[in-house]
């Protein structure tokens, strides 16, 4: 019994002091292997008398079980220690922001984002998108829109004209997207519900004007279209675009050659603290012009004004982008500064939707 107790003490102490799993395995073989010390004791049980076996059997079997348990416990402890050391050496600071992948590093320009927002809003109202060329004819840009040759309203547009072609015709860079409305009325039969976003050009440049800018115009032609419909459409657009629950608008008489009556539209706002906030305050800000399509325009586009009537509106995309996203100067929109775009741009996968949010 003394030899068994001594063997157990020495074996368990060696197992507890094993530095790694390889050392534990060597001790297992030395104790429990085919020629191991504990295995040798187990072999002696066959030669013992029944009384000796009854006395020493439990001692030897208990020694085997305790050695096996100590080996398993030591292996588990060494495994946990190795895992902790590996985790410590391979630790990542997950508090740092994850670097964007290549597909997310670019930015959507605010103009493209706002055009998508406008399209989402009017698309939900049943409007289609119509487009046309940037280089237009005098006829489509002015004459069919009730700007006769020599009309003083033409001077307001600061037009870029090209040199006369072989036929003596002078093409121009369109001063508004209204020629797209004319093209639509010439090509399609009513009812018509379209918006016309795109680039426009005028010889003007300062903090809020650039020679090239963007407009979106809308056109509705039907037998019963009226100013009540126009007012509702513009109110719903402003609430959705500026993401406010309520908006107050006022319509002021104005003049445009292509509409009669014509109106300027102001939206209620607050200018406190140098910041413009819509849906509150006692100030007003002009955001667009609109009116009923002039009968002469309908006639020029092959429509009978005694049968059809309609309304149209137009606004600057760059201007409403500045108002919504707090951009103080129009010129950086077109300077291709990646620092400005990184600040004001939008992630490419954050597409504006009415359900998910326009500017999420």
| Dist CA 289 CA 280 (whole Å) | 22
Number of Cβ within 10 Å of residue 360's Cβ equals 10
Is 8 part of any known ligand binding site? no
For 356, counting Cβ atoms within 10 Å of its Cβ (0-12 exposed, 13-18 middle, 19+ buried), the class is: exposed
Number of Cβ within 10 Å of residue 18's Cβ equals 20
What does DSSP assign to residue 274? G
Contacts of 341 (CB under 8 A, 6+ apart): 107, 109
| Dist CA 337 CA 210 (whole Å) | 16
Distances (CA, A) of 183 to 3, 150, 189: 109, 23, 11
| Dist CA 237 CA 214 (whole Å) | 18
Two tokens, residue 15? 């197992």
**E runs forming strands in the chain:** 128-129, 135-136, 172-173, 192-201, 212-222, 249-256, 259-270, 277-278, 283-293, 309-316
Tokens 């290549």 locate to: 102
Using the Cα atoms of residue 80, residue 86, residue 87 and residue 88 in order, give the sign of their dihedral: positive
| Dist CA 174 CA 215 (whole Å) | 11
Residues making up the annotated binding site for Mg(2+) are 260
Q: Which residues line the annotated binding site?
A: 260
């Amino acid at each position: 019994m003394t030899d068994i107790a001594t063997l157990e003490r020495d074996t368990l102490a060696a197992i507890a002091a094993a530095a790694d799993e390889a050392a534990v395995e060597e001790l297992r073989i030395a104790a429990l292997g085919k020629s191991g010390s504990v295995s040798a004791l187990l072999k002696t049980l066959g030669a013992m008398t029944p009384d000796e076996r009854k006395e020493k059997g439990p001692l030897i079997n208990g020694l085997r079980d305790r050695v096996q348990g100590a080996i398993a416990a030591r292996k588990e402890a060494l495994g946990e220690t190795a895992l902790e050391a590996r985790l410590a050496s391979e630790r990542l600071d997950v508090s740092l922001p994850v670097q964007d992948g290549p597909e997310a590093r670019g930015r959507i320009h605010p103009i493209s984002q706002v055009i998508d927002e406008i399209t989402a809003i009017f698309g939900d109202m049943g409007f289609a998108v119509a487009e046309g060329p940037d280089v237009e004819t005098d006829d489509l840009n002015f004459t069919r829109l009730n700007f006769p040759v020599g009309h003083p309203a033409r001077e307001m547009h600061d037009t870029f004209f090209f040199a006369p072609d072989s036929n003596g015709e002078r093409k121009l860079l369109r001063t508004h997207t209204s020629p797209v409305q004319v093209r639509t009325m010439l090509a399609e039969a009513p009812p018509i519900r379209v918006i016309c976003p795109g680039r426009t050009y005028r010889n003007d440049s300062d903090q809020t004007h650039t020679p090239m800018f963007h407009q979106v115009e809308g056109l509705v032609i039907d037998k019963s279209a009226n100013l009540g419909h126009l007012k509702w459409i513009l109110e719903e657009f402003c609430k959705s675009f500026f993401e406010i629950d309520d908006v107050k608008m006022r319509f002021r008489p104005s003049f445009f050659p292509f509409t009669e009556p014509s109106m300027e539209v102001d939206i209620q706002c607050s200018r406190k603290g140098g910041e413009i906030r819509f849906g509150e305050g006692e100030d007003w800000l002009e955001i667009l012009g609109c009116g009923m399509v002039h009968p002469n325009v309908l006639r020029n586009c092959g429509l009978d004004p005694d049968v059809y009537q309609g309304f149209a509106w137009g606004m600057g995309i760059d201007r409403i982008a500045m108002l919504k996203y707090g951009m103080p100067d129009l010129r950086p929109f077109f300077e291709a500064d990646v620092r400005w775009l990184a600040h004001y741009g939008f992630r490419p996968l954050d597409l504006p939707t009415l359900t998910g949010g326009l500017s999420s």
